[in-house]
Structure 1
Amino acid sequence: MRLVVLGGGESGVGTAILGKKKGYDVFVSDFGKIKESYKEVLIINKIDWEEEQHTEDLILNADVVMKSPGIPDKSPIIKKLVAAGVKVISEIEFAKPFTEALTIGITGSNGKTTTTMLTHHLLKSAGLNVGLGGNIGKSFAWQVAENKYDAYVLELSSFQLDGIIDYRPDIAIITNISPDHLDRYEYKYENYINSKFRITMNQTESDYLIYDADDEASTEWLKNNKTKAKLIPFSLTKTFDEGASINNNKMEIKINQEEFTMETEHIALEGKHNMKNAMAASSVAKLMQIRNATIRESLSNFQGVEHRLEKVLKIQNVQYINDSKATNVNATFFALDSMNVPTVWIVGGVDKGNDYNELMSLVREKVKAIICLGIDNRKIIDAFGAVVDIMVEVNNMNDAVKTAQRLTEKGDAVLLSPACASFDLFENYEDRGKQFKQAVHNL
């Protein structure tokens, strides 16, 4: 069997290693450059590869192709493979048949990384032999090749879900759905929503789907479509016979005749959106029959995720906050919503079709100045020019942070929450967040 892997990144190299171990004839092809560290792995494992090209003769003869999430379906090589009738799948789809482990699949426009890390933290703290993969850390396929975990917590993007055929998580979570990546979905929101719900398409009556009952896109989809999975809702305002809710500053979860309660003030993560992430993760813990005391302890000591509302430093009584992971408007909405002091907001980057109107009331209420950090800031200036007194344009992180310092007074906050992708000025959102933290430390 010939396995061709398109993309020589984390998921590609992981898939190649697993494929080789399972006896496939493996070839890795990357249209860009492959990182030196990954090249070394391929060479040590005697796996053939190429970079900066796709040699069609070596690709179109595949029995199965694993494509990296970053490659769009409309790229020429994918179109040719589909026309030739070759199966094109994602890493998760390829790797799952090679492990007996239970999988918890987590998707959503926002909150999926925090929910994935928190779920993994809860299960690991309870002593379970559990791996963490998908969009985070070491690739799922690589771990299946080298480790023996009983369960995996997987962060799944819509792009990974587009490439599944038979994969089904034992427990699925959809944190929420808001417009994102519409450039990959013909600018049709319903295509993107359907893509997220692929997570439940193969689930059976013995599986679970945990979802946000306050989220319009999710509740609409569930009204109009069927899933066999048992539904576990969570909500900040509604209560359920079976599900998770917040009542008088208490988180309450009822699942399989069992109950869990915890005062929200003892939960380490702050903000309404994080209460939802905590409800989703704790619902998994209850389904996995973890003791209430263990869940409480884990929720109170969880450290959070880098680049997500991460408190960097307080300088002259001004708090600097790194929310570089906010690459869409909905994520920035949560960030601004959690601010309770006058805020200098650093925003901008590559816009994925953003509508800034939904931030308007929060900006009026909380933002004293806006610093536009991007190559093209027109849309942000048009949206907020009349709402905020001070708007400054900068094109590097040092200038952004120094300008922010000049515009603050004691008791204010500086929030990097870009609402955009980072590719105009940075390698990725991590690079953007690290540069912000470095610039703050240099003040």
Structure 2
Amino acid sequence: MKTYKAYENKKVLVVGLAKSGVAASLLLHKLGAFVTVNDWKPLSENREAQSLLDQGIKVICGSHPVELLDEGFELIVKNPGIPYSNPLIQGAIDKGLPVITEVELAYHINESTLIGITGTNGKTTTTTLVQQMIEQDGKTSYAAGNIGTVACEVAQLAKAEDYMVVELSSFQLMGIQSFAPHIAIITNIYEAHLDYHRSLHEYVSAKAAITKNQTAADYLIVNQDQPELMEAVSDTKATVIPFSVTEPLEKGLSIHQGAICYNLEPIAKLSEIVLPGSHNLENILAAAGASLLSGVSKDSIQQVLAEFGGVRHRTQFVRDFNGVKYYNDSKATNTLATKSALNAFSVPTILLCGGLDRGNDFDDLIPYMKNVKAAIVFGETAAKMTDMASRAGVELIKKVEDVKAAALEASAIAQKGDIVLLSPACASWDQYPTFEVRGDIFIETVNTL
């Protein structure tokens, strides 16, 4: 951890707790700042705030009073989930106060090699692949950021010879000032989070911010198959390493002669990669590129690709039972994710789907249902899923109570060579508190067959 003096004796307001807010507050306190924490949850119900009080940090809970801005704060550290339309945050901006997220704090104290990864889809898979490839090569590597481990906590542990691989959301990137990874990856850009961002342009700009502070000594690995993304980063000062899954690249990462390649030189054979799905080739290319730039050997990259079966709840291979392969894609809370999952398999598939009804239909799944031999539906959207599957020509459709019943029903009708795929295309909240709980129940049920 670098010694960083700029926060000493500075009045800082941390808005919003959860894991990142707690970590930011404790780090700022450690760096000598005068920290005030503001969280909407009442103090009596707020264990995080109570723990900060015990550390001597000032805490104001129960609302986000705009009057706080009259107390002379010099910096606001915002939880990424709090929108900029929040009156307290908007008031700070109107006063000209800098508003950052905790990844900016992490950057100031970090002394390891920093790899930053963003994009609409594939961030977690790519982050995990890079972290594991570096580890496989005998180096120490930490995964942090939006993947679940707070970046400014990890930055306190990482040494100069280590690597920190940070998954970055658009929410986090909107709050950076000097943050600059040595290697940046943008996996892809699709329309998303427009309930938070005021426009698609703002969303794309937030993603492109990952490269705004890079220099010619840094690298940007970016998806050449998306012209609008290439345009968004056209003013980068970093050395650009493009990747493509559609055409061989003499300079960059691509698919060529049955292998993933860098400058057309093979890195690993496609036949030896166990991670399913054409959409994952983007993630694999980007991860291999970042790993090569970090000095990782081809052997280490090949070893990880031969063993890595997917991130938990993201087209995760669970088990082969009686010749039937079971995959957990509970993270698929929308049709875009389920389309990618269905596209990953070309064998007979039993699809488990359904969940919270947000008022939308599922017609856009129909073109992707050609390999689905049976659909097992559950949750609030069961009727809509039944209608969609029927119009897609699925021969067998069954409605069941929940995910456990769906897994058992699938096992009863599956035949050798089939795929059983939990990819709900819906949020879990009608029956389960999180998609992780939903996926864990599926895993547990499959493992007890």
TM category, shorter: 0.7 to 0.9
Q: Which residue of 2 aligns with 1:292?
A: 298
Structure 1 length as normaliser, TM-score?
0.87
Query: What SS class does the counterpart of residue 313 from structure 1 fall into?
Result: strand
> Structure 1 residues 44, 142: CA separation in 2 closer, same or farther (over 3 Å shift)?
farther
Whether the 8 Å CA contact 1:343–1:368 is kept in 2: the answer is yes
| Preserved contact between residue 103 and residue 152 of structure 1 (Cα < 8 Å) | yes
- Partner of residue 310, structure 1: 316
The Cα shift of 1:139 comes to 0.8
Q: Residues 243 and 253 of structure 2 are in contact (CA less than 8 Å); yes or no, is this contact kept in structure 1?
A: yes
Corresponding residue number in structure 2 for 1:340: 346
Query: How big is each residue's C-alpha offset from its partner over 1:130-155, in whole Å with a ceiling of 9 and x where there is no partner?
Result: 32211124211112234435331100
Confirm or deny that 1:53 pairs with 2:53: no
Q: Structure 2 vs 1, CA of residues 379 and 204 (structure 1 numbering), >3 Å: closer, same or farther?
A: farther
Residue identity matched to 1:218: L
Q: Helix, strand or coil: the match of 1:368? A: strand
C-alpha displacement at 1:8, in angstroms?
1.9
**Following TM superposition, by how much is the alpha carbon of 1:171 offset from its aligned partner in structure 2, in angstroms?**
1.0
User: Greater shift after overlay, 51-60 or 408-417?
Assistant: 51-60
What letter corresponds to residue 177 of structure 2 in structure 1? I
Letter of the structure 1 residue corresponding to residue 170 of structure 2? S
Name the SS of the counterpart of 2:373 in structure 1.
strand
Distance 1:205 1:42, change over 3 A: same
- Given candidates 398, 402, 413, the residue that maps to 2:404 is 398
Superposition deviation, residue 313 in structure 1: 3.4
- Superposition deviation, residue 391 in structure 1: 5.0
Matches of 2:47 and 2:307, distance apart in 1: 34
Structure-2 separation of matches of 1:353 and 1:288: 46
Which of the numbers 130, 139, 149 marks the counterpart of 1:138?
149
TM-superposition CA deviations, 1:285-304 (whole Å, max 9, x none)? 22122233333333333353
Q: TM-score, normalised by structure 2?
A: 0.85
Select the residue among 159, 165, 170 that pairs with 1:158: 170
Aligned residue runs from structure 1 range 55-204, under 5 A: 55-58=65-68, 61=71, 62-148=73-159, 150-186=162-198, 188-204=199-215
Match of 2:433, as an amino acid?
A: E
**Distance apart, 1:357 and its partner CA:** 5.3
Maintained 8 Å contact 1:119/1:281 = yes
Match 1:15 to one of 24, 31, 35? 24
* Displacement after TM superposition at 1:105 (Å): 0.6
Structure 2 spans left out of the alignment, 5+ residues = 1-9
Q: How does 1:191-230 map to 2 (within 5 A)?
A: 191-222=202-233, 225-230=234-239
Who is 1:386 aligned against? 391
Q: Which residue of 2 aligns with 1:238?
A: 247
Unaligned regions of 5+ residues in structure 1, if any?
Answer: none
Matching of residue 437 in structure 1 with residue 438 in structure 2: no
Identity among equivalent pairs (%): 38
Which position in structure 2 is the counterpart of 1:370?
A: 375
Distance 2:351 2:332 in 1: 13
Q: State the alpha-carbon separation in 1 of the partners of residues 248 and 437 from structure 2.
A: 41
SS in 2 for 1:154: strand
Shift of 1:175: 0.8
Q: 1:158 and 1:374, CA in 2 relative to 1: closer, same or farther beyond 3 A?
A: farther
Q: Give, in whole Å, the separation in 1 of the partners of 2:361 and 2:254.
A: 30
Of 331, 339, 349, 2:337 maps to: 331
Kept in 2: contact 1:341–1:366 (CA 8 A): yes
SS of residue in 2 equivalent to 1:370: strand
* 1:245-292 CA distance string (max 9 Å, x none): 11121121139xxx5532122233232222221211111122122233
Number of matched pairs: 436
Structure 1 segment 261-276 matched on structure 2, within 5 A: 261-276=267-282
Greater shift, 16-25 or 297-306, is seen at: 297-306
Hey, what's the Cα distance between the residues in 2 that align with 1:134 and 1:299? Answer: 23
